[in-house]
């Protein structure tokens, strides 16, 4: 089964990722991964660091002559800003530690305080570097490998922004194909499908920028083409909705996940909510609605899977909030780091990557094999309705 691991600090030498369990025979190149890394760096409201990094993932192992070997795949992304941080992030002890200021003023909403207490760090920099969302660059790279895998079987994952700072976009995705959603999202500065709402969102981001503040929002991840029955109802840890929700909430700054109508499901009668089954030819069926968001009983039901994910405003604010200096115990403004004003469009791409990574094990549990040839055969022979 698939396992993955990331390592590296925000301003360290590099980010490293290992993906274990990818079947042999998948065509894979560094350019396949670069596409998603470029998408992650885009979006109105991002910080100047996006101009520095220009992320490229190098494949160090697990691929030979353009195809996966079935052995662990190792990826590495160089941090180009490392040259400016070699002293601050030195692996070896410094001869003069007084040259490096210890950070002791935690930011409300960040990992700073709890992380410093948990690991007994006197310098919050030790927390910042790994808690930073810079780590998601490697998650996107690993997710891109999984995207190439699922693409072979016609399974697509796309995303779009539906709310920034309270500005809600019209629900246009339901009437668009996933290719159209992807094309429109990639051509938009905010990955928003509604042009009028995007203008209002940009104005809201400009307001936050002028006020030295930050903004969060909501995005939707859409999975199309996943066969019926991925996941299971027999144990809680095998339920697809639980697996996907955990994956979304593992992303930095995510605070809520809804599937289909999400929390709005609680406001309806059952007869209004549940998606009716209607006959379609002799042995198949169709549904006029998709309120369940493509998952019933912890399993994919063949409809489009829709995940609505809420992201809080980032906790590094240009006008620092009140805090307490951990060294003196006195009131002090929180520390300030370089940060985005709004990163919701980038979070979309990270959400796609996490959905792709999270789906691998449920998919391989049902159709698995050691090679792409074997998985193709299992998928092709998968049964339909027992009475059909």
- Across the chain, mean pLDDT equals 94
For residue 48, is pLDDT > 80?
A: no
Stated as kind and residue range, the H or E segment containing 58 is: strand 57-61
**Residue 262 pLDDT level (bands cut at 50, 70, 90):** very high
Domain 3-91+103-368: give its CATH code. Answer: 3.60.150.10
- Distance between CA atoms of residues 180 and 184, nearest Å: 6
Is residue 53 exposed (0-12), middle (13-18) or buried (19+ Cβ within 10 Å)? middle
For the stretch 192-247, pLDDT in tens is: 999 999 999 999 999 999 999 999 999 999 999 999 999 999 999 999 999 999 99
Residue 226 φ/ψ, nearest 5 degrees: -70, 125
**Residue 281 pLDDT level (bands cut at 50, 70, 90):** confident
For residue 33, is pLDDT > 80?
A: yes
For residue 55, is pLDDT > 80?
A: yes
For residues 43 and 193, the model is more confident at: 193
Do 33 and 141 touch, CB atoms closer than 8 A? yes
Where do the domains of the chain lie? 3-91+103-368
pLDDT over 70, % of the chain: 97
What would the mean pLDDT of 21-31 be, rounded to a whole number? 98
Stated as kind and residue range, the H or E segment containing 367 is: helix 344-367
Give me the pLDDT at residue 329, please: 96
For the stretch 61-113, pLDDT in tens is: 999 999 999 999 999 999 999 999 998 999 999 888 777 889 999 999 999 99
What would the mean pLDDT of 348-369 be, rounded to a whole number? 97
- Distance between CA atoms of residues 77 and 53, nearest Å: 10
Give me the pLDDT at residue 50, please: 56
């Amino acid at each position: 089964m698939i396992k993955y691991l990331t390592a590296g600090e925000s301003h360290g030498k590099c980010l490293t990722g290992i993906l274990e369990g990818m079947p042999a025979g998948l065509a894979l190149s560094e350019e396949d991964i670069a596409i998603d890394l470029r998408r992650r760096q885009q979006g109105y409201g991002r910080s100047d660091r996006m101009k520095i990094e220009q992320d490229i993932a190098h494949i160090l192992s697990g691929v030979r002559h353009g195809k996966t070997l079935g052995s662990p795949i190792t990826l590495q992304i160089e941090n180009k800003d490392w040259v400016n941080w070699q002293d601050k992030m030195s692996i070896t002890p410094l001869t003069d530690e007084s040259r490096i200021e210890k950070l002791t003023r935690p930011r409300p909403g960040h990992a700073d305080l709890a992380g410093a207490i948990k690991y007994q760090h006197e310098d919050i920099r030790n927390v910042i570097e790994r808690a930073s969302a810079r780590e998601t660059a490697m998650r996107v790279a690993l997710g891109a490998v999984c995207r190439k895998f699922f693409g072979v079987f016609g399974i697509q994952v796309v995303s779009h922004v539906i709310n920034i700072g309270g500005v809600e976009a019209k629900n246009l995705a339901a009437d668009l194909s996933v290719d159209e959603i992807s094309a429109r999202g990639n051509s938009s500065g905010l990955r928003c499908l509604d042009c009028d709402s995007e203008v209002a969102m940009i104005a809201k981001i400009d307001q936050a920028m002028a006020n030295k503040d930050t903004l969060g929002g909501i995005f939707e991840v859409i999975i199309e083409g996943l066969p019926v029955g991925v996941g299971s109802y027999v144990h809680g840890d095998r339920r697809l909705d639980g697996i996907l929700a955990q994956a979304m909430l593992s992303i930095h700054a995510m605070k809520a996940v809804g599937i289909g109508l999400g929390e709005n499901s609680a406001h309806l009668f059952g007869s209004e909510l549940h998606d009716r089954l209607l006959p379609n030819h002799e042995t198949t069926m169709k549904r006029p609605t998709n309120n369940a968001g493509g998952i019933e009983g912890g399993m994919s039901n063949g409809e489009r899977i829709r995940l609505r994910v809420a992201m809080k405003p980032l906790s590094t604010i240009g006008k620092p909030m009140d805090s307490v200096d951990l060294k003196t115990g006195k009131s002090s403004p929180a520390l300030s780091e370089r940060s985005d004003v709004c990163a919701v469009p980038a979070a979309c791409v990270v959400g796609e990557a996490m959905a792709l990574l999270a789906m691998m094990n449920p998919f391989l549990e049902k159709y698995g094999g050691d090679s792409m040839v074997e998985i193709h055969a299992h998928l092709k022979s998968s049964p339909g309705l027992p009475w059909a």
